[in-house]
Amino acid sequence: MDLTWCLCWVLVSFLHLSSLPGNNAQPANYLLTNLSTSISWKNFDGFLETRYFYADGQTIRFILRRETFSSSFPNFTFGFYCDHSLACNSYFLGVIVIADSYPRLLWSANQNYRVSRFATLMFTAREGLVLNDVDGTQVWSTNTTGESVAGINLTETGNLVLFDERNRTVWQSFDHPTDTLLVGQKLISGQTLTDRGFHTLKNQTWSWYEGGLYSLSVTNEGFDSIVGTDPPQSYFEYTYLMHSNGSYEQKESTEPNYAVLSNGRFSLFVPRIDENQSNWGIRVPQVRFMQFVKLDYDGHLRVYDWVESQWQAVADVLTPSIGECGYPLVCGRYSICSSNGARVNCSCPNVATSKTNYFTMNDTDLYPKPGCYEATPLSCNASKYHELIAQKNVTFSNFGGNRADINNTDIESCKQACLSNCSCRAALFYSSGECYLPSKIISLKDSGEGPSLFLKVQINPTVLAPTPEVPQTPVVPRRGRKTISRSVIILSDFTKRPSMSMVVKAMEGLVEIERNLDYNFWIPPVQRTTEIVGHEEGDVGATSPMLASALSGPR
């Protein structure tokens, strides 16, 4: 056994012992193990070094740490992370960057399953890393069974690496992106970024937004971003064939397509077209401290950097192509998005010439925004009362990647196809003859001049009130004679009107009444009143003149 091998073994043993609990050593940036040894860490204060970041309301329990002790370089750590400090009872296991007491989670092992306090992380040579929740449920592992893992390293670029005895990489976090890419990290064909859930504080109560609604993938054809609605909808798509015009000469290449964030650019590479030149990309500001690109909860792909003592978005990768209203859930279902720069306004679709409000805004702070709800929900049992209302200069937020339901048709046939299909919620017609009949309305946007959009609404049937019956004239029997009407007609000629005593006698049936009386009522001329407002004359109603009675006194 030579001296060099002995010194290395001493270093391995020292690093292993210093990482065990009960030793007051600071976490190192790498750990070593051997086939007969396992290391475990429990997620609670007395077991791991814990730090609370009150400025940003977050908690970290450290397992590995790479510190530069320089304000010019980031400090990375690997451990348990909670994004709020009050009553924190759910944690991610991940890689975190810390800048001036403001941490940000960059990668998480358990993005879809947060663990509790007292959860356990184990590290063995045979299995690599295994995360178990407090009840023993296995939540995540590196799945390196069959490999011989010698150690873990947290690199200066924020990559968590498991390596073997020959220092070859067995597993690395850069190959398993979650919602974030660091500078130099590739998102290769078949891999996906998915937005992560987060806590929000409202009325002194923490609530959890689940996330997982948006995803962004590199495909064999290019680049695609999808919102996980029912059905899923693409809101940004780029393929090299869309922009090639048949001019690309494809080459033999085994390297997959990939997207990468470099210093000053976010790019998509298609090696079989050009191995050295990006096929698509967008310029971003040069790195000031440390950059990462993140798929946020609202579907935006933003580049962040440490600027003016805080993490700030310095670029928005997709918005220059699709605009602020291109994100499907920006305003919610049935809501129309209009934007003025970065400012977004949401409104409900209705008919300007109609007094009927078919939709009403559900104005809450929830995300995704609920949008507008139908005043009368559509019912297949009352489909004969379905109508289509036209929306001028309005279209769907993004219909990229969606195929037309009917081709080579006309607008009336498109509308009739929607009315004939109960699941259809709208008819979208293009002058080229394409007709779309979506079964779900996610978000709408102002389009200027564009396709013709018709939304299906439920019309309440008008119930005709029954014609009121004319009450019959009450009759009284004459003493031994035929019954006559008790009504006394007031004649238009006041000289022919009866006296009051005659009226009373007639009502009592004491006198005969002629059968051929003049039943024509005198309707005095209506006098209408007008009022002048400004330069216009307006009608404010009608009045009838007061007429004196010509009846004589009592009998």
Mind listing the pLDDT tens digit of every residue in the chain (555 residues)?
443 333 233 333 333 433 444 433 445 666 666 656 789 999 998 888 888 876 667 889 999 998 765 555 678 999 999 987 556 888 999 999 988 878 999 999 999 899 999 999 999 998 999 999 999 999 999 999 888 899 999 999 999 999 998 999 999 999 999 999 999 999 999 999 999 987 776 666 667 777 888 999 999 888 899 888 777 888 998 887 665 555 555 666 678 999 999 988 999 998 878 777 788 889 999 998 899 999 999 999 999 999 988 899 999 999 999 999 999 888 888 999 998 878 889 999 987 667 788 998 887 767 778 889 898 999 988 888 999 999 988 888 766 556 889 999 999 999 999 999 999 999 999 999 999 999 888 889 988 777 899 999 998 775 334 445 555 544 444 444 444 444 444 444 555 566 666 766 666 666 666 555 554 444 444 444 444 344 444 444 444 444 444 444 444
Query: Strand, coil or helix: what is 404?
Result: coil
> Can you give the pLDDT at residue 71?
58
The architecture of the domain spanning 27-166 is Orthogonal Prism (2.90)
R_g (Cα) of the chain, nearest Å? 40
Which of 160, 185, 165 is closest to 63 using CA atoms? Answer: 160
CB 428 within 8 A of CB 438: yes
Peptide bond into 368 cis (omega under 30): yes
CA 17 to chain centre: 49
Strand order of the β-sheet with 258-262 is 186-188, 258-262, 265-269, 280-283
What is the distance between the alpha carbons of residues 151 and 33, in angstroms, rounded to a whole number?
6
**Cα separation, 501 vs 516, whole angstroms:** 21
Cα–Cα distances (Å) from 282 to 41, 263, 285, 343, in that order, read 42, 12, 10, 22
**Pairing state between β 475-478 and 481-485:** antiparallel
How far from each other are the two terminal CA atoms of the chain, in whole angstroms? 147
Nearest residue to 43 (alpha-carbon basis) of 95, 17, 81? 81
**Nearest 10 degrees: CA dihedral of 95, 101, 102, 103?**
10
- Residue 470, classified by CB atoms within 10 Å of its CB into exposed (0-12), middle (13-18) or buried (19+), is exposed
Closest CA to 331 of 423, 394, 386: 394
Q: What is the pLDDT of residue 36?
A: 63
Task: Work out whether the CA dihedral 304, 305, 309, 312 comes out positive or negative.
Answer: negative
Which one, of 149, 118, 145, lies nearest residue 131 by Cα? 118
Burial label, 371 (beta-carbon count in 10 A; 0-12, 13-18, 19+):
buried
Name residue, tokens 């008819």.
427
Cβ burial, residue 68 (10 Å; 0-12/13-18/19+): exposed
Residue 207 β-bridge partners:
200
Per domain, the residue ranges of the chain are 27-166, 177-199+210-322, 336-462
Given this model, what pLDDT does residue 549 score? Answer: 44
The pLDDT value given to residue 209:
76
Residues in the chain: 555
Residue 14, token pair as written in the block:
């020292």
User: How far is it, in rounded angstroms, from Cα 331 to Cα 445?
Assistant: 9
Closest listed residue to residue 123, CA positions, set 75, 79, 70 = 79
Degrees, nearest 5: CA angle 73-77-83: 110
Q: Is 2.90.10.10 the CATH number for 177-199+210-322? A: yes
Q: Can you give the pLDDT at residue 399?
A: 61
Q: Fold identical between 27-166 and 177-199+210-322?
A: yes
Please name which of 185, 445, 422, 163 lies closest in space to residue 329, comparing C-alpha atoms.
445
- For 492, 502, 523, 544, 550, the CA distances from 547, given in Å and listed in that order, are 12, 21, 11, 9, 9
Handedness of CA 315, 318, 319, 321 (dihedral sign): positive
| pLDDT value of position 55 | 66
Tell me what pLDDT residue 382 has: 86
Amino acid at 202: K
Q: Are 198 and 206 in contact (CB under 8 A)?
A: no
Cα 536-537-540 angle, rounded to 5 deg: 135
